[in-house]
Amino acid sequence: MNRKDFTKLLGLGAVALHSFPSMAFNHQKIDPLELIGKGNPTVFGNGFSIRKEAYDAFVKMRAAAAKEGIDIHVVSSYRNYAHQNRIWERKYKRFTKQGLSPINAIKKIITYSTIPGTSRHHWGTDIDIIDKNSSYSGDVLVPKKFHGDGPFCKLREWLEQHANTYDFHIVYTDDAHRKGFKYEPWHYSYAPLSIPMLKEYQKLDIKAMLQAEKLMGSEHFNETFINSYIKENILDINPELLS
C-alpha cells in the first residue's frame, strides 16, 4: 500500500499533515504516518531513540536519579511499524505453534504487546527502563523484578516519587479496575508530547487501518475485537496521560 492510499485509508484525504499544539511541537507539523510507525520522526539518544524534547527531559531525570545511585537505562524506545510487526509475528508463530488457536494467540500477545500501528512506541515519546546499577539476569521487563526484593525496586520507588517532575508518567498502572495491557512498572511516557499525539491518533480511522493491514491473524480482527482493543488497550491507561 503506497503512502497516498494509506493516508486516504486513515481518513486524512489529500492533506497528510496536521498541526499539534505549538507549545508541544514548536510549530512543527507531524505527519500522521508517524503516529502509526510508518513515518520518519527526528529522534535523539545514544543507544535509544526518542524525540528531542523528551530526550532533554530524560537526560535531566537520569542525572537526578544518578545522584541516588540509580543508573536509568533505556531498553526500548522508538519502534517503527516494521519492528513492531516483527515482534507480533514472532509471538504469533510461537503461540500458535504451542497449540493456541489464532484468537487465543492474539489475546495472549496483547497482554503486553501491541498490534503494529497502535504502539505508543511509534511516537518517540515512550521508554521502557531499568536500573543498570542493579544485579540482574534473564528477562528484565517483568513486574516481580520491580517489587519486593527485585533488582529494580529502588528504581520503581524513585520513579513513583520523581518521574512526574520531569513530565514522565507511567502508562499502564497497577489499578485493579484498569483493563487492556497488564501492569508495566518500566514503561514511562513523556506527557507534553504523548498527550496531544494520542488526541491526534484518535482522529485516525483505526478500524480501517487494522482491517486493511495483512497482519498474521488479522482475519480475526472483527469489529467487536477492534472496538474492545481501542477502548481497553489504547485508551485504558493512566488518566494523567489522557488530559
What confidence tens digit (pLDDT) does each residue in 66-102 have? 999 999 999 999 999 999 999 999 999 999 999 999 9
Residue 9's pLDDT band (cuts 50, 70, 90): low
Q: Mean pLDDT, the chain, as a whole number?
A: 91
Please compute Rg for the chain using Cα positions.
18
Contact 103, 220 (CB under 8 A): yes
What is the pLDDT at residue 29? 72
What's residue 7's pLDDT? 54
Check: CB of residue 170 under 8 Å from CB of residue 120.
no
Kindly indicate the confidence band of residue 30, based on its pLDDT and cuts at 50, 70 and 90.
confident
pTM equals 0.89
18 vs 144, higher pLDDT: 144
Predicted local distance difference test score (pLDDT) of residue 35: 97
76: nearest Cα among 181, 184, 233: 184
- pLDDT (0 to 100) of residue 21: 39
pLDDT-derived band at 31 (thresholds 50, 70, 90) equals: confident
Say which residues have a Cβ less than 8 Å from residue 112's Cβ, sequence separation at least 6. Answer: 181, 182, 184
Domain containing residue 142: CATH number: 3.30.1380.10
Helices (DSSP H) in 170-229: which residue ranges?
Answer: 191-201, 206-212, 223-228
Percent of the chain with pLDDT over 90: 85
d(CA 176, CA 164) in angstroms, rounded, equals 22
E-strand stretches of the chain:
18-19, 29-30, 72-76, 126-131, 168-170, 187-190
Instruction: Check residue 23 and give its pLDDT.
Output: 36
Range of the domain at 138: 3-241
Strand, coil or helix: 162: helix
Judge whether residue 229 has pLDDT over 70. Answer: yes
pLDDT score, position 243: 79
**Contact in structure between 183 and 172 (CB atoms under 8 Å):** yes
CB neighbour burial string for 156-194, b if at least 16 within 10 angstroms, e if fewer: bebbeeebeebbbbbbbbeeeebebbebbbbbbbbbebb
Say if residues 117 and 61 touch (Cβ distance below 8 Å).
Answer: no
How many domains, in total, are found in the chain?
1
